[in-house]
């Protein structure tokens, strides 16, 4: 809509009774272009048969084989973001609950498992049939999911393919008496407010950058209508970030000194404090505290504090994009915006401004064609 207001005028065609318009109904339509979600092989055949420019917004089917111009999330980056968050919580046992034969689920698994295995840990996988292709959408594999959750050991950190699959994991955990987040820490994808905020406990989720995807899709469709050649690869948009909630508010650390030290650090991220102070509160030397961090988390206390502050900054960027950089730095315990910029770039590879939601603005590109993941 924002792109259409800036570059139009465009007129959008809607169904008289709902917002969805089927691809079948467009065979004789005289419009200029189509934005659509191609999720099933039958829809792919219809999309290929339309004699007008089309941009696909779904990654349900393998984009390498569709031949459709597509703008989608960078699903491997979504998996990596979830893995980084859970690794930062000290977990050493990981699982992925996804959908069999669904491309975006495979890509999220690949990003998640690769990052976990790079850190030296295994990743258990349980795949189930998508409700889009199942004969009975409401009959999903409860018994199989329950058996898998009982088999993976605890504590375990799990990424689900999307928020509603994560809600299914929550439901089974409650039935089995598994505590979330202490026995099972859980992350979903999409940051759907209904699925995440109404869950008990509220669900941590990786937020897709839907507004940027929409803007880029409209821009691509505009170019196709003007006769430009379609891109040879899908345009992939980085996620907006991870929104941490209670389903991952834990640390898989049992050491009686390190666990409360970490809890104190996380409670005081917006305050100035030193490592010596944290060590004194636990009755140990700075050297011993550093030893505990290296042994259990593979980092120094300073590295852990900086990483936690940067993660908090990214969460605030998503939830409160109106904050100035100086305000953001102070809320996250940095002395000034320059130090926040440096720490943020070291962790994520780009400055904070690149993650600030900017509805209606075209994203930066890796190349003039806008192909590949955004940096």
Q: Do domains 2-73+210-240+366-373 and 75-207+241-248 have the same CATH topology?
A: yes
What is the domain partition of the chain in residue ranges? 2-73+210-240+366-373, 75-207+241-248, 258-355
Q: What is the value of pTM for the model shown?
A: 0.74
DSSP per-residue letters across 77-118: HHHHHHHHHHHHTT---EEEEEETT-HHHHHHHHHHHHHHHH
End-to-end CA distance of the chain: 24
Q: 75-207+241-248 belongs to which CATH class?
A: alpha beta
Residues 117-140: tens digit of each pLDDT: 999 999 999 999 887 766 655 556
Average pLDDT over residues 323-342: 94
Beta carbons of 369 and 235 less than 8 angstroms apart: no
Q: Which fold would CATH assign to domain 2-73+210-240+366-373? A: Rossmann fold (3.40.50)
Kind of pairing between the strands at 241-243 and 204-207: antiparallel
Task: Give the residue carrying structure tokens 């050649």.
Answer: 229
Q: In angstroms, rounded to a whole number, what is the distance separating the alpha carbons of residues 29 and 31? A: 6
Residues 269-296: tens digit of each pLDDT: 999 899 999 999 999 999 999 999 998 8
Res 252: pLDDT: 80
| Angle, CA 249 vertex, CA 244 and CA 255 arms, to 5° | 140
Residue 239: name the closest of 104, 336, 43, 332 by CA. 104
Q: Which fold would CATH assign to domain 258-355? A: Arc Repressor Mutant, subunit A (1.10.10)
Gyration radius from the chain CA atoms: 23
Query: What is the Cβ-side half-sphere exposure of residue 125, based on CA atoms within 13 angstroms?
Result: 15
pLDDT at 361 over 80: no
Dump strand ranges (E) for the chain.
34-36, 54-56, 71-73, 94-99, 123-128, 156-160, 184-189, 204-207, 235-237, 241-243, 372-373
């Amino acid at each position: 809509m924002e792109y259409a207001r800036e570059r139009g005028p465009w007129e959008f065609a809607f169904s008289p009774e709902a917002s969805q318009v089927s691809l079948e109904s467009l065979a004789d339509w005289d419009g200029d272009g189509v934005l659509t979600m191609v999720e099933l092989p039958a829809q792919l055949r219809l999309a290929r048969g339309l004699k007008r420019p089309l941009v696909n917004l779904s990654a349900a089917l393998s984009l390498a084989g569709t031949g459709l111009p597509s703008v989608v999330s960078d699903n491997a980056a979504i998996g990596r973001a979830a893995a980084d968050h859970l690794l930062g919580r000290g977990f050493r046992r990981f699982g992925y609950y996804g959908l069999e034969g669904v491309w975006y689920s495979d890509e999220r698994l690949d990003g998640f498992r690769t990052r976990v295995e790079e850190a030296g840990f295994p990743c258990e996988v349980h795949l189930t049939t998508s409700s889009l292709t199942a004969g009975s959408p409401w009959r999903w594999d409860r018994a199989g999911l329950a058996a898998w959750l009982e088999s993976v050991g605890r504590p375990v950190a799990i990424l689900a393919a999307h928020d509603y699959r994560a809600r299914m994991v929550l439901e089974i955990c409650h039935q089995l008496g598994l505590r979330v987040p202490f026995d099972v820490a859980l992350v979903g994808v999409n940051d759907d407010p209904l699925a995440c905020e109404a869950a008990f406990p509220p669900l941590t989720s990786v937020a897709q950058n839907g507004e940027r995807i929409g803007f880029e899709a409209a821009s691509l469709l505009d170019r196709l209508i003007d006769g430009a050649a379609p891109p040879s690869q899908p345009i992939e948009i980085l996620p907006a970030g991870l929104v941490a909630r209670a389903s991952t508010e834990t640390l898989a650390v049992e050491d009686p000194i390190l666990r409360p030290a970490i809890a104190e650090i996380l409670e005081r991220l917006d305050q100035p404090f030193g490592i010596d102070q944290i060590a004194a509160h636990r009755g140990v030397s700075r050297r011993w505290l550093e030893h505990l961090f290296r042994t259990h988390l593979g980092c120094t206390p300073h590295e852990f504090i900086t990483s936690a502050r940067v993660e908090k900054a990214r969460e605030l960027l998503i939830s409160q994009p109106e904050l100035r950089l100086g305000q953001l730095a102070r809320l996250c315990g940095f002395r000034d915006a320059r130090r926040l910029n440096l720490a943020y770039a070291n962790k994520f590879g780009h400055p904070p401004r690149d993650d600030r939601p900017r509805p209606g603005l075209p994203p930066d590109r890796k190349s003039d064609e806008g192909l590949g993941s955004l940096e």
